[in-house]
Amino acid sequence: MLKMTKTIIKLTVRDVRFPTSLEQHGSDAMHTDPDYSVAYVVIETDQGMQGYGLTFTVGRGTEIVVCAVEALSALVVGKSLEEIVSDFRGFYRLLTSDGQMRWIGPEKGVIQLATAAVLNAVWDLWARSEGKDPRKLISCIDFRYITDALTEEEALDILVKAQTGKQQRVDQMLKEGYPAYTTSCAWLGYSDQLLKQLCTDALNDGWTKFKVKVGADLKDDIRRCSLIRQMIGPHNTLMIDANQRWDVGEAITWVTRLAEYKPLWIEEPTSPDDILGHAAISKALAPLGIGVATGEQCHNRVMFKQFLQASALQFVQIDSCRLGSVNENLAVLLMAHKFKVPVCPHAGGVGLCELVQHLILFDYISVSASLDNRMCEFVDHLHQHFRSPVVIQNAHYMPPKDPGYSCEMLESSVQTHQYPQGQVWKKLQ
């Protein structure tokens, strides 16, 4: 029998954790001891091709995501890549709307993270094989539940219009890269001295946009914001991030107290599910010139749709692993463009920078055609574990040149950090 298609014959998933909590990297008001981790997926075709995917987690519970990926694998193994991408919308819905498994989501939590890991691997495999035109991309999006905000025709129209000037933007990106901001200087667990040192280094490296974690203690926040504003001067950009620490009223009061340090945005002021709460906060802070940013824990396109409809955010923070892979991120990028809200992706963690750079470059080149008020988060951690780590030059993401979705990790890193049997974890036990 002739094999005309690439059939996926195997899916493996591993629980890979980095003991970042030992040094308070990534600490914030709600996640005080994160061990940056991934559920790491490899799919293999009968022709020996591989696709790599992952979703990001912060330690305990990664085994639950692994369990969910294993449950989804039955829907993937045995399918050909051609079969999947010829009706990617249908395949997306197969994973997210399985008549039994959707009960434990739907399209949220562990099951959505697992979907992202699996689909990221499929996109990685697909990315290595061919180009995608606007119509093809639209066919990947599940418009269910969002047609009251964006129809398929409107989406296609956006992509077709953005063909103008595309090559120019590609050339610009290849030359300059996409603007980034850094979160590496001011994690909540860092001392003032370390913060100062990291800030000085970052300024020397050309960084102009800085994010500070806040929300645990107002006095501390005032001191830290004052310190960093002093370090970076009045013309560089400061953002603050509370990681969901506050109630609605509390958020307004607290951020008002920090207004004198001129933050561009307050990120995750309250529950990531509270659309109306974010709308109230946005309204209250608008006169102070402070926007609201959220999205890293916004679990699907339906939530983003409402955040946009309710003017509840001024910066859309997509996440490559929280949403259902490229498919769902495309829906959000297009909605954000329609609602004229800039997208500033969430990154950091493990692999999030590697993945999301593709999405934000796509946003600039093929959707928004604008850099106004736009930048992509960067955290300088754990890139050394990737086959094609991000390249940052003068505080800009330089476009990745290797084929695929940049998810592939070094096999040695995976083995050393596998939980609980890897060498790193054995030593810690």
Decide whether 106 or 399 has the Cβ nearer to its own copies. 106
Q: Which is nearer to its own copies, 17 or 385 (CB)?
A: 17
Name the burial class of residue 426, with classes exposed (0-12), middle (13-18) and buried (19+) by CB atoms within 10 angstroms of its CB.
Answer: exposed
In whole angstroms, the minimum distance from the beta carbon of 394 to its own copies comes to 32
Helix (H, G, I), strand (E, B) or coil at 406: coil
Nearer to its own copies, 98 or 363 (CB): 98
Interacting residues with its own copies (CB under 8 A): 30-35, 57-65, 67-68, 71, 97-113, 144-148, 244, 247-250, 270-277, 280, 297, 299-300, 302-303, 305-306, 309-310
Biggest CA–CA distance in the chain, Å, is 72
**Please, what is the end-to-end C-alpha distance for the chain in angstroms?**
52
Looking at beta carbons only, is 105 or 404 nearer to its own copies? 105
Catalytic residue among 79, 213, 305, 381: 213
Contacting residues for 417 by C-beta, under 8 A, at least 6 apart = 16, 17, 18, 385, 424, 425
Nearer Cβ to its own copies (100/412)? 100
**Shortest Å distance, C-beta 424 to its own copies:** 17
- Cβ of residue 26: shortest distance to its own copies, in angstroms? 11
CB of 349 to its own copies, least distance (A): 9
DSSP code for 206: T
Listed residue (379, 33, 296, 382) closest to 189, CA to CA:
33
Residue closer to its own copies by CB (options 127, 293) is 293
Cis preceding-peptide flag for 403 (omega within 30 of 0):
no
- Assigned token pair, 189: 């667990």
Q: How far is the CB of 235 from its own copies (least distance, A)?
A: 35
Antiparallel, parallel or unpaired: β 50-57 and 178-186? unpaired
- CA-CA distances (angstroms) from residue 120 to 126, 324, 388? 10, 8, 16
Residue 196 is among the residues annotated as catalytic for this protein: no
301: left (phi over 0), alpha (psi -120 to 50) or beta: alpha
149: left (phi over 0), alpha (psi -120 to 50) or beta: alpha
**Active-site choice (211, 346, 396, 417):** 346
CB 300 to its own copies: min, Å? 7
CA-nearest of 178, 222, 232, 199 to 376 is 178
Look up 213 and say whether it is catalytic: yes
Which residue's CB is nearer to its own copies, number 148 or number 372?
Answer: 148
Distance in angstroms (rounded) separating the CA atoms of residues 386 and 407: 7
299 backbone dihedrals φ, ψ, rounded to 5°: -90, -15
**Alpha carbon 92 to chain centroid, angstroms:** 19
**In the complex, minimum distance from the CB of residue 25 to its own copies, in angstroms, rounded to a whole number:** 14
CA 388 to chain centre: 18
CB of 168 to its own copies, least distance (A): 37
- Which CB sits closer to its own copies, 106 or 389? 106
- List all residues 6 or more positions away from 215 whose beta carbon is below 8 Å from its beta carbon: 28, 29, 30, 188, 221, 241, 242, 243, 245, 246, 254
The tokens of 59 are what? 């330690």
Amino acid identity at 192: D
Catalytic sites, residue numbers: 213, 346
